[in-house]
A and B are shown apart, each in its own frame.
Chain A
Amino acid sequence: MFVQIDNLSKQFDTQNGNITVLKNININIAEGEFVCVVGASGSGKSTLLRQIAGLDTPSSGEIRIGGVPVKGPSPDRGMVFQNYTLYPWMNVQENTEFGLKLQGVAKRERRERASYYLDVVGLSDFARSLPNQLSGGMKQRVAIARALVCEPKILLMDEPFGALDIHTKESMHEFIIDLWQRTKITILSITHDVEEAVFLSNRIFVLSSRPGTVKKELTINLAERGADAKRHAIFQDYRDELMGLLRQYGAEGLVAAKI
């Protein structure tokens, strides 16, 4: 498998003692798949993504991407954060180029590659704009372009559309599906939005809360993922199933937390 997460566990030392956030996580992702990890708050899904990004080290277990163990952050794994994290003093073009600049790519090549991906995300006209002149959806598209410019093996997204209003969110869903189909990139997204997960994913991993463990793996087979897909019966069946699972495991977590 392209992404292999074997028996990953993560504990944190806190004032209230040792807390297990993730326990025995096993997730495999094939190249080119779009996978969502869904869980209630407290399920450690962001912690999981941080381990994969290399921003944090697992307490036990291993993560391999393309056979290479994850040791630390690297441009091999692009990441999109919920709150955009654009460099506010750089314009859109400079933001998009920045990863290449850090890696020492020559100016001309930088410019060309960034321009290509700005075109992919449809923001060529805003290359000279500063982030605070953009809407939330546009900022997130810049963040996606910035990640893609480095040509990562996998794109990690941490609740990427969580801060957007519902209309922007829906258009971003269609945008990211379209982008995924064109670039064939492997995507792992974290979300608590059930519709988002069903709409975007090939497969969904459902995490329980405290400690986060994989409770269920759902394979989603949607014939089409156009704007109308959300109204089809099969979509709603998937959504209801996932909602039920989340309610079940989220509630378990709440009970567990009280004890």
Chain B
Amino acid sequence: MPQKPKSNLQDSSTQPNRSSLRPSVFWQLAEDIPPRLNWVLSGISLGLPLILWWGITTFGSIDPKFLPSPSAVIIAAQRLWGAGELQQDTIASLWRVGVSFLLSAALAIPVGILMGSFASIRALLEPLFGLMRYMPAPAFIPLLILYQGIDEAPKLSLIFIGTFFFNALMVMDTVKFVSKDLIEATYILGGNRLQTLAMVIFPHVIPGILDTCRINLASAWQLVIVAELIAATEGLGRRISVAGRFLRTDEIFVGLIVIGAIGLILDLLFQYVIRVCFKWSNNN
């Protein structure tokens, strides 16, 4: 009779227990954390850098030309606000982003839906869009100035070029989430292709489209600053550029913080709209 391997003969009670997965609150994979912990951690995320900033500028001996204190930045913000410049700059930048992103989305959404729905349109446009996407929009600035001068047009074009291809390709991807069964079910209920496109695919992808816009609005917001750094008479990018020339570091900080805050507010606004208006897509 063959001898059994020794380990199998051991009494199970003498074997060390294999360790079981220990419960954890902080390190749970793919699970929510308690709301209170969520708030505390989010508070630390914003609060800790602020405290560090305050501490360094108060107790360190750093030239305020390099790093102004939080209070100096607040004073600068009040000064710019009082002069009306901050509002003017913010409106100018928001207007540029608004107009050009709206144009970009208005064109990219139908194109993206067509690309997602029809393999033929996809084959026709995807190679070109895929290529254009990898050309950084700021690299087009010299050309845009050559073609359109230094007025508003090249700034709007820059944002358009920088967001259109991403918008179209990402909208195309959202169409992939419409199940083939749902499309076929529509045919069986008597729907033609146009009806299926307009009454099934389109409503199905609206939340995905809004999410795409939310993500790409961030690049639009970055590009407007880039555009204004080159040539502009007003705008948050212009403000930073001018402040840099005169070593007004506090104003640079004001510009950066306002840019970040507006971006965050827009992002949260989109998230809120998607969550409230499209309850049906939340649980899926």
Contact = CB atoms under 8 A, between A and B. Distances in A.
A74 B186 CA distance: 10
Per DSSP, chain A at the interface is loop
Interface in A144-158: 146-147, 150
Contacts of A2: none
B190 A87 contact: no
Interface residues of B, number: 22
A87 B184 contact: no
Given A73-B187, A74-B190, A85-B185, A132 B283 contact: yes
Given A75-B189, A75-B190, A79-B188, A85 B284 contact: no
Per DSSP, chain B at the interface is helix
Contact of A87 (B182, B195, B278, B284): B182
Contacts of B186: 98, 102
Given A102-B199, A132-B283, A81 B181 contact: yes
B284 A75 contact: no
Task: Please indicate which of the listed interface residues B190, B203, B204 has the most CB atoms of chain A within 10 Å of its own CB.
Answer: B190
Interface residues of A, number: 27
Task: Please indicate which of the listed interface residues A73, A146, A147 has the most CB atoms of chain B within 10 Å of its own CB.
Answer: A73
B187 A55 contact: yes
Given A55-B187, A102-B199, A130 B279 contact: yes
Interface string A57-82: 00000000000000011110111010
Contacts of A150: 189-190
Nearest to B181: A85
A87 B189 contact: no
Task: Please indicate which of the listed interface residues A79, A81, A89, A132 has the most CB atoms of chain B within 10 Å of its own CB.
Answer: A89
Interface of B: 179, 181-182, 184-191, 195, 199-200, 203-204, 278-281, 283-284
24 contacts: A53-B184, A55-B184, A55-B187, A73-B187, A77-B188, A78-B188, A85-B179, A85-B181, A88-B204, A88-B280, A88-B284, A89-B281, A98-B199, A101-B199, A102-B189, A102-B191, A102-B195, A102-B199, A103-B190, A130-B279, A130-B280, A131-B280, A146-B189, A150-B190
